[in-house]
Amino acid sequence: MADLRGHLCWAPETASATINTEAVNPSPAVFLATHTPLRIRRARIQDRSLIPMDGTADEGTVLADFLERRSTTGALLMPVVGDTGSGKSHLVRWVRENIPVSGDRQVIYLEKTQTSLKAVVNALLEGVDSESLSKLRADIDSFSSGLDEVALARRLINALNEALAATSPRDLSGANRILAGPRGLAVLLQDPHIQQYLLGPGKYVPLLAAQLLHDRDAASPERPAGFTVDDLPLKVREIDKAAEVSKALLSKLLSKPDLRTAAVDLLNQHIETAIQNVSSLGSGRLQQAMLQVRQEYARQGKEIILLVEDFALVQGVQRELLDALTEPAVREGTIRYAHMRTMMAVTTGYFTDLPETVMSRVSAATTGYLYDLDLIFNRQDDGAEQIASFVGRYLNAARIGQDELERSGGHRVPNICETCPVRSPCHDSFGHSPEGHGLYPFNRSALLRMVHSVAPANQPWAFVPRTVLSNVVRRVLVDDAAEISACTFPDAAFKERFPLGPEDPPLTSAVSELVNSYDQIDPQRRNTLLEFWGDAPADPAELDPGILEAFGLPPLPDEASQHRPAGPEPTPSAKGKSPAGENTPSPALRRKLEAIENWATRNLPLQQAIAGELRALIGETVFRRYNWSQPLMKEIGKTEAASRAWPNNSIVVSIEGAGGENLPGTAAAPIKFKRNTLNSQFFQSLLLAKYNSGVPRSEDIRRLARFADTKATDLAARLQQSFETSDADLTTGLRAALIGAALAGKAWPGMDDADLLSAALHDGRGWTRGDHTIRTAQWRQLLEHHLNQRKTLVEGLRAGLGLSQGIGAVQMIDAARALPLLRQAASNWTWRSPGQVPEWVKRAVTGFATWEERIDEQNTELAATLGRVRRHLPRETSGRDSVEAVQAALKEADKVGLSPTGAQQRDRLDALIAEAANADWQVVSALERDLNKISSAEADHATAVRVHAAVRDRGASLSAIEAFLTGADQWLTTALGDAGARSDLAGDAAARDVQTVLDEWAALSEGKNDDG
């Protein structure tokens, strides 16, 4: 078997030169060597539909029917229809190669590359000459040489405009009548701005002009058969440059699909008239010329055989040609024109869209049926053998090469496999066609699957020879030759090139995962081989060892087969139980499992409902296993989490190729699942476990648990992001809480961590300032607002830093997390609002932008208060001695009648003295020290010193002291004045006593050091 490893029994360059996808390209020898008989069916023409008839035919039957069928008019038309690439031209050429040589026949052959009018006309008129025919040839020669493509394209537009302008509304029906006449569709063609669009690259008119003047190269793309909606000027840029009438019609075309279809039909109906008008073929000249040709061959006693490889490409002469070739040969019992047999290849769509007048003549000339090459194979017929036969011939030709085939003449082509040294193991492993041609590097399974893969989407069982040759055979033999030789085929791109057809079962995700577990070399290639070459077996060991050897893969170990799974879904028993006794999946669950399987193995979209169910399962598992301790935070309910942080959608759990993946934020989902078989098995197990049905794989359940644990950090991050409890958010909240506490006099720079944390987490209930009377109005207003909103702020902090019992109140604070954040917050006692303030912080910090202004205002107010006190209580003066001195003076005043007049005044003075006696006189010096530090503080500590001075609660003592000193000063001043005004001896004595008291007070200020 070693000889088969990486074996190439063809040369890629030889295969490229030999395998032609166009029937006209290869030489007769290569054409005959690769020709494979395929099924051809008859179809009956019924109005514009083709009705398949019973039975099939081969090429020989078609040829015999074509040559032997009798027509009552002497003009037989045999259309060969099929989609592009179905082999129509191949059949026409095969007929040409196999028409017996006869002097009674004149064969005229129009190749699909002969698109120019000159080539078509010369081919049709070949062998016959007359003055009128010579004039026609000369006119066509002049037309072909006298115009370039650009000029012809513009002439075609103008001629088409004239033809459309001559139409009548009677030619159309309903709303489509607006397209007729000079103000209809013709308006667009005469608008210079829109003309430029119609003449742009890739549009139909320029392509038509090029191929009317020049034959098409076999390698170039085919010209479109006519106008399509894409050729309409619906995407004209700078539409404002167009005329108003043009813009109005374009607006209608854009809004009405039926009108667009009618416009395309109208253009196609009149393009031939436009071609004839610019090419001198008008007035029935070609029809008359062809009738002359038929007359001449009738005179010679010959029958005309006309073979047209693609009738759609004979544009400009189609109708006249049809009229000429369907003209009856016998008139009034006399043979006037030669009998004609015409075989023309035409796409099914083009044929059924022929004008009704043309269709009726075709139907009459065909005697009611035609041949249809749209081959549809299914598993019940012998399609696999015919495909093997078809491909086998081309494989054999590719191995032999064009030169050798030429020498053989194409009739006795050797089977090169017969002399191949590895024929036996190769055919045993890869198989061979009915003719004995080896299918390597394909086998029947791979061929069928690849053919289905490249079939039209609406016909998955269709066999399109050209597509199979170009996209399958040539692609593998030429493009993949190096990979086959290097044992790297099929590569990762193979499945992208050949997506599975809808009827081909994919390799199950269970088998794929088994391969992934046991294949340590290249599980991806093995899975592809199993799916295509192995026909997706249930056992990965079922792939032929020779195929593995050829592609360079060793067999899997024996235990891979011993452990082959049936997937997460069990095989149901007769009693509705799985082998282990679990309930088998319900039909609804089976549909879900199948959808997940198809998502992975067929690349089909996963329905949004199923994806949503999986997202909920996974997201809720992560949530329910979260322990709320890393970091410590308040536990919340699933409903609240789902509504804000952890919703059951693609923002959290993204599934590639699933519905509902278009939500903003999906790209940043923390949980993502790729489309692969591993995740398919995982998803299926989750559903089986959810519904307690079948046997979910234990490794999938463990994976879910591990998954939930590893995604805890993502959940925490989402919770912190959604509830705004990240470190940055909490730091902002803590700083806000500290400043709020500072406003209330409960926190200031320099406090220890425990006191700061206690103050920050206090909700402010019961907080009052003892010194509120010396606070500025703005300070009191800011504090009042903050305290009204502080509860929400503190609840946010506790939720972010605390642990609750269930979803109840916070019972514990995570000090390990809180303290570093607190220190960071307390490192700066200014309020610079960050870019994004958490919602739970915002209301409590209203006005905080003026925090530093309030600090400075308050310090100014405190300084003023201190100044007023110091005017009556100089430094080094004892406050308590001052109280005693005033009390003594009051007693002396009582003796001489100089006491405050009125009971109310005396009571007030007594109250002031009593408050002053109980006051803390040290508050004066403490305030003075705090204020003095502001001016001497270094820049780094200036803010902290200013805040400390402003926020400290000075209590009621300072106000009491100031009130006492002011009140006492006012009384003593009044009393002294009254004493001096007296003239009697008692008055003089009283004055002397009061003066003595004043002198003693003054002495206190001069000699005492103790404020107390």
pLDDT tens readout for residues 551-599: 999 999 888 776 655 445 443 333 344 444 457 889 999 999 999 999 9
**What pLDDT, in 10s, does the model give residues 962-983?**
999 888 888 887 877 776 666 5
- Cα–Cα distance measured from residue 179 to residue 189, given in angstroms and rounded to the nearest whole number: 12
**Helix (H/G/I), strand (E/B), else coil: 45:** strand
Query: Which pLDDT does position 722 carry in this prediction?
Result: 82
User: Is the model more confident about 45 or about 576?
Assistant: 45
770: Cβ contacts below 8 Å, ≥ 6 apart: 745, 953, 954, 955, 956
Q: What percent of the chain has pLDDT over 90?
A: 47
List the beta bridge partners of residue 46.
49
| Closest-CA residue to 799 (of 847, 754, 841, 858) | 841
pLDDT of residue 397 exceeding 80: yes
- Cα–Cα distance measured from residue 715 to residue 628, given in angstroms and rounded to the nearest whole number: 10
User: Is the model more confident about 1012 or about 977?
Assistant: 977
pLDDT of residue 992 exceeding 80: no
**What pLDDT, in 10s, does the model give residues 616-672?**
999 999 988 888 777 777 777 878 877 778 899 999 999 999 999 999 999 999 999
How many other CB atoms are there within 10 angstroms of residue 440's CB atom?
A: 28
| Closest-CA residue to 167 (of 155, 185, 153) | 185
Place of tokens 């081989």: 529
Place of tokens 């393009």: 271
Query: Which pLDDT does position 561 carry in this prediction?
Result: 72
Place of tokens 């077996």: 537
Query: Which pLDDT does position 509 carry in this prediction?
Result: 93
Query: Which pLDDT does position 1009 carry in this prediction?
Result: 42
pLDDT of residue 772 exceeding 70: yes
Which letter does DSSP use for residue 235 in this model?
T
- Mean pLDDT check: name the lowest of 216-220, 374-378, 514-518, 769-773: 216-220
Both tokens of 327, joined, read: 């003209």
Query: Which pLDDT does position 578 carry in this prediction?
Result: 46
Type of residue at 75: A
User: Is the model more confident about 614 or about 230?
Assistant: 614
Query: Which pLDDT does position 57 carry in this prediction?
Result: 86
Average pLDDT over residues 682-691: 94
C-beta pairs of 349-358 under 8 Å, 24+ apart in sequence: 349/83, 350/225, 350/226, 350/311, 350/312, 351/50, 351/79, 351/81, 352/48, 352/49, 352/50, 353/48, 355/269, 355/319, 358/318, 358/319, 358/322
- Cα–Cα distance measured from residue 446 to residue 540, given in angstroms and rounded to the nearest whole number: 16
Place of tokens 């749209």: 374
Rg (CA), the chain: 51
Query: Which pLDDT does position 22 carry in this prediction?
Result: 62
| Closest-CA residue to 665 (of 728, 723, 722) | 722
Q: Is the dihedral of CA 381, 385, 387, 390 positive or negative?
A: negative
| Closest-CA residue to 512 (of 676, 655, 674, 675) | 676
Residue 799 phi, psi (nearest 5): -65, -35
Query: Which pLDDT does position 720 carry in this prediction?
Result: 82
**Would you say 916 and 879 are in contact if contact means Cβ atoms under 8 Å apart?**
yes
Query: Which pLDDT does position 581 carry in this prediction?
Result: 46
**Would you say 81 and 89 are in contact if contact means Cβ atoms under 8 Å apart?**
no
* Residue 761 binned pLDDT confidence (cut-offs 50, 70, 90): very high
598: Cβ contacts below 8 Å, ≥ 6 apart: 506, 604
User: Is the model more confident about 503 or about 686?
Assistant: 686
* Residue 1008 binned pLDDT confidence (cut-offs 50, 70, 90): very low
Cα 898 from chain centroid (whole Å): 97
- Cα–Cα distance measured from residue 444 to residue 398, given in angstroms and rounded to the nearest whole number: 18
Give the pairing of strands 671-673 and 653-655.
parallel
On the question of a cis peptide bond just before residue 490, with omega within 30 degrees of 0, the verdict is yes
Tally of helices (H runs) and strands (E runs) in the chain:
46, 15
pLDDT of residue 361 exceeding 90: no
pLDDT of residue 544 exceeding 90: yes
Average pLDDT over residues 442-448: 95
Query: Which pLDDT does position 502 carry in this prediction?
Result: 85
pTM over 0.85: no
* Residue 386 binned pLDDT confidence (cut-offs 50, 70, 90): confident
On the question of a cis peptide bond just before residue 631, with omega within 30 degrees of 0, the verdict is yes
Type of residue at 308: V
- Cα–Cα distance measured from residue 80 to residue 40, given in angstroms and rounded to the nearest whole number: 10
Query: Which pLDDT does position 19 carry in this prediction?
Result: 86
| Closest-CA residue to 695 (of 798, 786, 593) | 593
Cα 853 from chain centroid (whole Å): 53
Query: Which pLDDT does position 1006 carry in this prediction?
Result: 52
* Residue 34 binned pLDDT confidence (cut-offs 50, 70, 90): confident
Place of tokens 């055979």: 473
359: Cβ contacts below 8 Å, ≥ 6 apart: 48
Query: Which pLDDT does position 906 carry in this prediction?
Result: 82
Average pLDDT over residues 826-835: 82
Average pLDDT over residues 392-406: 89
pLDDT of residue 7 exceeding 90: yes
User: Is the model more confident about 700 or about 25?
Assistant: 700
**Would you say 641 and 721 are in contact if contact means Cβ atoms under 8 Å apart?**
no
Query: Which pLDDT does position 524 carry in this prediction?
Result: 94
- Mean pLDDT check: name the lowest of 19-33, 323-337, 884-898, 980-994: 980-994
Between the CA of residue 891 and those of 621, 673, 887, 900, what are the distances in Å? 85, 94, 6, 11
- Mean pLDDT check: name the lowest of 35-44, 730-739, 801-810, 880-889: 801-810
Query: Which pLDDT does position 886 carry in this prediction?
Result: 84
**Would you say 889 and 987 are in contact if contact means Cβ atoms under 8 Å apart?**
no
pLDDT of residue 388 exceeding 90: yes
List the beta bridge partners of residue 766.
none
Both tokens of 834, joined, read: 């960050």
**Helix (H/G/I), strand (E/B), else coil: 841:** helix
| Closest-CA residue to 339 (of 370, 295, 307, 308) | 295
478: Cβ contacts below 8 Å, ≥ 6 apart: 12, 15, 16
User: If residue 46 lies in a helix (H) or strand (E), which one and from where to where?
Assistant: strand 40-46
**What pLDDT, in 10s, does the model give residues 862-891?**
999 999 998 888 887 888 888 888 888 888
**Would you say 432 and 417 are in contact if contact means Cβ atoms under 8 Å apart?**
yes
* Residue 487 binned pLDDT confidence (cut-offs 50, 70, 90): very high
- Cα–Cα distance measured from residue 514 to residue 568, given in angstroms and rounded to the nearest whole number: 12
Mean pLDDT over all residues of the chain? 86
Both tokens of 988, joined, read: 């003089």
